[in-house]
Amino acid sequence: MVNNILVIEDSKTINNIITKVLSGLDFSISQAFTLAQAKEFLNDNEYKLIILDLHLPDGEGSELIANIQSLSKTKVIVLTSSHDNDLREELFEFGILDYIIKDSNLMYSINEIVKIIKTISNVHKKKILVIDDSKLICTQIKTILEPRNYIVDTVITSKSGMLQLREYKYDLLILDMELPDIHGLKVLEMIRKDKQFSTLPIIVLSGTSTPEVIRNVLKNGASDFLKKPFVFEEFILKVDLWIDYFLKTQALEDKTLELQYLNNNLEKLVIQEVEKNSKKDKILFQQNRNAQMGEMIAMIAHQWRQPLNAISAATTLMDQKIKTNKFDNDVAQMITSKIHTYVEHLSSTIDDFRNFFKPDKEKRFTDFQKIYNKAINLVDASLEKSGIKINCNVVKVEEFESYENELIQVVLNLLKNAEDVFLDKDIENKFINITIDGLNFYIEDNAHGVPEDIINKIFDPYFSTKKKKDGTGLGLYMSKTIIEEHCNGKLTVSNSDIGAVFKIEIGKCE
């Protein structure tokens, strides 16, 4: 990882610009403006990278390169205005990373430096295999590529090369045509016949560069051709180019395989996701149902309290009549009639709650008048105790086919939600306006409405506004799910002049 850099450049303007750009990328930068300053920095510190101008006011920067022990540990990028091609090639042979000419577009040169730094900072080094029987060529290639963060393996025969290719994964192959055991064209043919190497870039090196040789090399599957002895900078550029091309090809192939998998398994994946969502909804329904169970028990208690008190009063009256010998047939008939009426009311209440908890398996014809009547029978005692008045306005009754009990559940959720809002806000003269207009059902309260910053969130799962923090945040979410996914309808909320308005719309029967 490149973390400390020495910039050696006598132009203060250029030196400062380079330093500013690289410092902005979180690199630690030292600046030297003369050869003497650079030597002092190098004596006192160890640098991973040197950006070097060759012509300094007190000497030549190439002196520093000659004194650096290892260009694999301390890497060098030359940034100079010198166009000396012989020196350029000599420095590449020595192992510099790059030789960049300063021109009028300085930022382009700096971008090239940044690109090189990112390459050599990559922890995942790219691997190159060289098959060449010339030890000099192998040494030269290792010298110029290893400082650029490449791992270079070398072998001298095609047999060893094929073994290496099959045992290790390489990003580039550099192949000599004249090998001691098999000619390079035959090696090319063997490699390209193996499917696992079909996209591996191969740069061929040859001492002969006639049009016929180049044509045969490229026709047999080579990616590129270089004549020996090669120009080092050209060689580096081609290596970088083909490595980059191979990485992009691999990424494209991986993405293509991923898309093919998705296409081939799309139906299965959709079914799996639908099943996951279905399971999630079932869990949410159950959580919401459990929360409602507690509310229902409280509602049953409210509904039963008055008739139970009346039965208790009737039995007390009967006991007094018996003790005072005033218990005759008329009194007995009157008292038993009252008790019978109260018992019927209790039984009816139990039936209402029992029917509510029966899941609808089939749609039935109903209307919002029936749904409201059944829902209000379950909750009117609780609303009355909370001091909430119900105003019901029936504009038009229209029959439709749907799941009646689920719609009753939604109406109950909305009524209980209004009751909770009233309790949280402590409002006097509380009332709820119910409007039935054909396939539309409105519930409006006078609790001053839903704040605009949360009105778009109240149907989200687990979102609750209850101050007591005992809300599950599921009631409104499940209500919307029931209406829109089960009952072919729509549930929305808006604010009126006095409070919140929940609107249930049911689609027409086909």
Q: What is the 3-state secondary structure (H, E, C) of 214-271?
A: HHHHHHCCCCEEEECCCCHHHHHHHHHHHHHHHHHHHHHHHHHHHHHHHHHCHHHHHH
Instruction: Calculate ∠ Cα 112-56-66, nearest 5°.
Output: 75
CB 405 within 8 A of CB 360: yes
Q: What is the pLDDT of residue 463?
A: 61
Lowest mean pLDDT among 11-15, 95-99, 223-227: 95-99
Two tokens, residue 35: 């050869």
Render 424-480 in DSSP notation, one character per residue: HHT-SS-EEEEEEEETEEEEEE-S----TTTTTTTTSTT----TTS---S-HHHHHH
How far is 126 from 119, CA to CA, in rounded Å?
10
Q: What is the pLDDT of residue 128?
A: 93
Which residues are CB-contacts of 32 (< 8 A; sequence separation ≥ 6)? 6, 7, 8, 9, 38, 40, 41
pLDDT at 239 over 80: yes
Could you tell me the pTM of the whole model? 0.48
Two tokens, residue 385: 């105790």
Beta-strand pair 440-445/431-438 = antiparallel
Q: Could you tell me which CATH class the domain 265-358 is placed in?
A: mainly alpha
How far is 264 from 506, CA to CA, in rounded Å?
38
* Domains in the chain: boundaries: 4-121, 126-261, 265-358, 359-510
Please give the average per-residue pLDDT across 363-368, as a whole number. Answer: 89
pLDDT at 351 over 80: no
pLDDT at 164 over 50: yes
Q: What is the CATH T-level fold of the domain 4-121, as seen in this structure?
A: Rossmann fold (3.40.50)
CB 329 within 8 A of CB 301: no
User: For the CA atoms of the chain, what is the radius of gyration?
Assistant: 43
CATH superfamily of 359-510: Histidine kinase-like ATPase, C-terminal domain (3.30.565.10)
Three-state DSSP at 205 gives strand
Q: Is 354 exposed, middle or buried (0-12, 13-18, 19+ CB in 10 A)?
A: exposed
Please give the average per-residue pLDDT across 202-207, as a whole number. Answer: 91
Q: What is the pLDDT of residue 294?
A: 57
**Which tens digits make up the pLDDT trace of 281-299?**
666 665 555 555 555 565 5
CATH number of 126-261: 3.40.50.2300
Fold match, 126-261 / 359-510: no
pLDDT at 469 over 60: no
